[in-house]
Chains A and B, each alone.
Chain A
């Protein structure tokens, strides 16, 4: 059974700092991994999707890496801003699952202080 863990559970950093959010999964047999952002009371916004054959994806100040063999992904946020404050969720799509039965981690609550 696939399980996803996100560390740390919460993080508070000053504005301008570079930071790394971690995601680990127990079964390396995945189709893809997706990072989401959730603002309070809002839905999930897709940030980056990494296919199992890829090592990383970049979008603006965000960079996500994937090491499938070790069951790990990291989300790197450069030059953090107060607007980056949100909950960040990692989800994997296990291989063999028919469809998009994403398995989510509990999330990392990020606060960027101005």
Chain B
């Protein structure tokens, strides 16, 4: 069974450009989460989907970040326009039920120059 997969694994973009990250959760997992680690900091929660609905987006840093999960399958996280401080590793995770074991993807390393 495939785990959580994320695309791309790395992305280098210039300040002001747009980047879209994608996450495919484990099949059958209704709960999908985005986390982020910026340099030297702990991994921090961004938002949580239950199927196609945003359950909690309290961790989204600002309105330059837009997450979607159309059809309740894969999710995208768009950063527009990207700023230098958005650089970091973006992780996606999924769980079968809320409160159960979380499975993480390999992450997308975003570098804004």
B99 touches A100 (CB 8 A): yes
B91 touches A43 (CB 8 A): yes
Give the residues in chain A near B43, CB-CB below 8 Å. 89, 91, 102, 104
Query: In this assembly, does A101 line the interface, its C-beta being within 8 Å of a C-beta of chain B?
Result: yes
Contact of B104 among A41, A44, A93 (CB under 8 A): A44
Which parts of A10-57 form the interface with B (CB within 8 Å)?
Answer: 31-32, 34, 36, 41-46, 49
Q: A43-B91, A43-B107, A44-B91 are in contact. Are A101 and B45 (CB under 8 A)?
A: yes
Across the interface, name the chain A residue whose C-beta is closest to B95: A100
B42 touches A105 (CB 8 A): yes
How far is the CB of B71 from the nearest CB of chain A, in Å? 20
Query: In this assembly, does A60 line the interface, its C-beta being within 8 Å of a C-beta of chain B?
Result: no
How many residues of B sit at the interface, in one of the four size bands?
Answer: 20 to 34
Q: A98-B56, A100-B33, A100-B95 are in contact. Are A43 and B101 (CB under 8 A)?
A: no
Across the interface, name the chain A residue whose C-beta is closest to B56: A99
- A-side residues, CB < 8 A to B, are 4, 31-32, 34, 36, 41-46, 49, 89, 91, 93, 98-107
- B-side residues, CB < 8 A to A, are 4, 6, 31, 33, 35, 41-45, 48, 50, 55-56, 58-59, 91, 93, 95, 98-107, 109
B31 touches A99 (CB 8 A): yes
Give the residues in chain B near A105, CB-CB below 8 Å. 42
How far is the CB of A5 from the nearest CB of chain B, in Å? 10
Give the residues in chain B near A36, CB-CB below 8 Å. 104
